[in-house]
Structure formats: C-alpha cells, structure tokens
Amino acid sequence: MKPDTELTPKQIVKELDKYIIGQGRAKRCVAIALRNRWRRQQVQGELREEIMPNNIIMIGPTGVGKTEIARRLAGLANAPFLKVEATKFTEVGYVGRDVESMVRDLADIAVSKVKAEAAETVRPAAEAAAEERLLDLLLPFDGSAAEAPTLANDVASVAHARSELQQRRERSREKFRQRLQSGEMEDRLVELDVMEDHFSMMQIFSPVGIEEMGLNIQELFGGMMPKKRKKRKATVTEARQVLTQEEVSKLVDMDKVVTEAINRTENLGIIFIDEIDKVVGDGGGSGPDVSREGVQRDILPVVEGTSVITKYGIIKTDHILFIAAGAFHASKPSDLIPELQGRFPIRVELDSLTGKDFVRILTEPRNALVKQYIELLKAEGVDLCFTAGAVKEIAAIADRVNRKMENIGARRLHTIMNTLLEDLLFDLPKSGLVKVTIDQTEVKKKLEKIVEDEDLSRYIL
C-alpha cells in the first residue's frame, strides 16, 4: 500500500470528527491502531513478525457512538475492514455461524477490493480491446472481396490489389472507429456472443450455510458445467460494457489478486466485533449461556492467532487487528472470560453524552438530524428552520429524559425529533406553506407535556 494514500492518526481523527462528536480518546486509540498497521509494514526483517497488534476494547453506555465509530472507520480504512456482531456467532457444533467465518468474510472483502483495483489498472487496455472487438462486430470480415485479387493475372498486381484492399479495409475501420468514439453509434444493434449466466439460478439452490464451509457453490458448479455461450442482440453501449468486462477478467491475473489479498488480510486486516458484551454469560453455566461462553472461547484462538481455511487458502490471523465494543450495562468487561480480556490490552471508555454534546450532535455532523429533516422537507418545497434556542431546548429535553428514564444516549434525539415534527411531517404537502421556523416556545409547547408526564414519555420518547 502506498504511504501517501494512508491516513495519519490526526487525519483519521479529523475524518471521524465529521460524524462523531466528542469521544476523543476512543478516536485517538483507533487512529493509532490503524496507523500502526501501516507502520509495521515499514519495519524490515524479523522484528516485523514480532510486532503484534494491540487489540482494543471500547466500552461505553448505549448510544454514545461505538458502532458509529466502527461504521465510519470502515469507510476510512484502506485496509480490509469487517464489522461483525458477536451475537451472530454460535459455538462450534451449534447451528449458526462459526467464529472463523469472520476471517473468511474478511478475506472475501480483501479479494474483491484487490480485484477492483486490478480491474482499474487494466481498464484502459480492456477498453481498447473491447473497442477492437466491437469494430469486428460492426465490420464483419468481407469474404467476397478477398477473392477479387485472384482475378489479376500477374503476381505484382495481385500483391498490389491485396494491399489496396487491405488499405481500404483499414480506412473504413478507422472511419467506424471515429464514429464509434464520437458516440453516434451507441444505439446501433450488434450481435453479441455472451457467456451464459448461471448465477441467478444457482443462488436459489444454494442451501443456506453452505458458505460456512468456505465453499462457493457457484464457483464449484460454474466450473463443472460447460460454459455455454449464446448469441444475443445488444446495443453498442451495452455491448461495450459486456466486452470490456470480459476483457477485464481476461487481463486480471486472479492468482496474483488472491496472493495480494491474503497478504493484506493477514497483515493489514481489521475486524470490528460489536456487541461483545452480549456474549457474556451470567455464569450460571446452563442454558444458552453455555453457548455464549463457547463463543468467547471460540474467539480466543482467532484473536490470538490461528490458521483459518478459506477458499483462497490458509489465512493466519496473528496480525489481524481486533477492535471490540460493547455497552456492558448488564455485565462488566471483567465478566468476559479472563483469557479473552487479556487479548484486548487496550481499554477505552466512551463518555456518556450530555445536553452540550446533544446540541452539537443535532447540528454539526455531516449527517446531523437537523440537516436531515431540513433536506426531507425541502422535497416538499418547505424551508425548515430551527432557531438556536430550539436546538438547545431539544438537547435539554433529551438530556432530561435520559436522566429520568433510561440513558439511551444520542438515540433519544431521534425519538424526540420525530415526536416534535410528527404533525408537520403528516400535514405536508400543504399549499401555501413554504417556510416553517421552529423556536424554543414551539419545542416546549409540543414536548413539555409529554416530558412532564412520566407514563406518556415512557411510551413516546
């Protein structure tokens, strides 16, 4: 990976800041961990093998941005990145996904990424080849013309006639090429030889869970069945796409792609395990908890370093970075089995959010709720506007309800905004209504009663 495409920790935090308010320490930790992946790649010699990733565990109440950090990180990381929920897994032997499947999924992600990159580099060559094939389709070889020179009586004139014919053919090919490139032939129909698609059919028959074995039924059967080609009419536009795609897959060296992808998975891969607290048993040792602890025990070797068999080959997990996150409101990190705790040496606590944070969360992030509603109402031709006082009031109410009832963090803002705007959202479109301003009094009027009444707010907010 090129260093100039790799973000520095400061840049990573800056990117995360666009979506997540506060939680500075968590952002720093993940930024350092991400950068360390690249730093280790720069280390030469045997020391590189010794540098182990410092797995992180993020702990914080619900709705404070743990999953949000993971989601945004996924968009930033140049490396193969997978986010999974720990609750998806079951202990080996039980019905469900086994823990090792996360490594297989990570490998899949890496392969498709590397493949896309490779496709990008061969694209110009593939496009050129596709153009030649398009020209072949548009200008089928004219057999009768080839006969003409044999009528000439001496060798020299035969050669002359041949070359003349050749030149004529090339000239018309060039003319067609120009017309093709100018885009005037896009709707012309050509007859195309296409590979028949087994995909859609196979999808239906593939039994759920077969991918658990790392098998890909499509590839399995796709390879066995003779590749049928069939003729079909297509416009030039369509044909160009199909042909380019075919040329791309001819030019991409899949062996190289797989080797590179395995390399990236092993050395740069990041797996984010969300909801890790949900696989903490209550220690009773019976019922479904047995399976939960089993999941923890299954996670151990994967985090520690093991070899997982994938359809691309064996993948060693020693250097994959694991970031876990959980609310731990019903349990404590110390309830995780000790071996697992030891495998996540870095603990970051996320802060509970307060009214001040809510004001910023409502307005600052790229995807801020206030911005979302403004855009939604724009679709109805209404200019929605919140005064600073209104935003402050919404934040204060969210804070109050969080304190009074359950603290669900920033998620509270969603319900409050929805309650506040429900009538408006229902009434629109309404003729003559082009501007709505929501101020503090309006917010109070709409929400005060519900907040005061505990029973009501329990159900509505």
Ligand X SMILES: Nc1ncnc2c1ncn2[C@@H]1O[C@H](COP(=O)(O)OP(=O)(O)OP(=O)(O)O)[C@@H](O)[C@H]1O
Binding site residues, ligand X, CB under 6 A: 20-23, 60, 62-68, 327, 361, 365, 409-411
Task: Let me know: does 56 contact 37? Beta carbons within 8 Å.
Answer: no
Query: How many residues interact with Mg ion (rule CB under 5 A)?
Result: 2
Closest-CA residue to 306 (of 94, 19, 104): 104
Q: Which is nearer to ligand X, 256 or 332 (CB)?
A: 332
Q: In terms of DSSP bridges, do strands 307-310 and 313-316 run parallel, antiparallel, or are they unpaired?
A: antiparallel
Within a 10 A sphere around the Cβ of 228, how many other Cβ atoms? 10
Q: With CB cut-offs between 5 and 8 Å by kind, which of ligand X, Mg ion, none does residue 23 bind?
A: ligand X
Please give the residue whose beta carbon sits closest to Mg ion in the complex: 67
Shortest Cβ 69–ligand X spacing (Å): 7
Q: With CB cut-offs between 5 and 8 Å by kind, which of Mg ion, ligand X, none does residue 62 bind?
A: ligand X
Q: Quote the DSSP letter at residue 139.
A: S
Q: How many CA atoms lie within 13 A of 138 on its CB side?
A: 26
Name the helix (H) or strand (E) containing 309: strand 307-310
Structure tokens at 67: 């999953």
Shortest Cβ 394–ligand X spacing (Å): 14
Q: With CB cut-offs between 5 and 8 Å by kind, which of Mg ion, ligand X, none does residue 410 bind?
A: ligand X
Shortest Cβ 85–Mg ion spacing (Å): 9
Q: In terms of DSSP bridges, do strands 321-326 and 56-59 run parallel, antiparallel, or are they unpaired?
A: parallel
Shortest Cβ 329–ligand X spacing (Å): 8
First to last CA, the chain: 48
Structure tokens at 136: 């072949």
Q: With CB cut-offs between 5 and 8 Å by kind, which of Mg ion, ligand X, none does residue 21 bind?
A: ligand X
CA gap 217, 9 in Å, rounded: 41
Q: Does 67 bind Mg ion (CB under 5 A)?
A: yes
Shortest Cβ 392–Mg ion spacing (Å): 27
Q: With CB cut-offs between 5 and 8 Å by kind, which of ligand X, Mg ion, none does residue 31 bind?
A: none
Q: Which stretch binds Mg ion (CB under 5 A): 63-71, 95-103, 346-354, 426-434?
A: 63-71
Q: Which stretch binds Mg ion (CB under 5 A): 37-45, 64-72, 77-85, 230-238?
A: 64-72
Structure tokens at 191: 């007859």
Shortest Cβ 410–Mg ion spacing (Å): 11
Within a 10 A sphere around the Cβ of 111, how many other Cβ atoms? 22
Those residues with Cβ within 8 angstroms of residue 378's Cβ, 6 or more apart along the chain or in another chain: 384
Shortest Cβ 406–Mg ion spacing (Å): 15
Q: Which is nearer to Mg ion, 98 or 275 (CB)?
A: 275
Q: Which is nearer to ligand X, 60 or 333 (CB)?
A: 60
Q: How many residues does the chain have?
A: 461
Q: Does 87 bind Mg ion (CB under 5 A)?
A: no
List residues binding Mg ion (CB under 5 A). 66-67
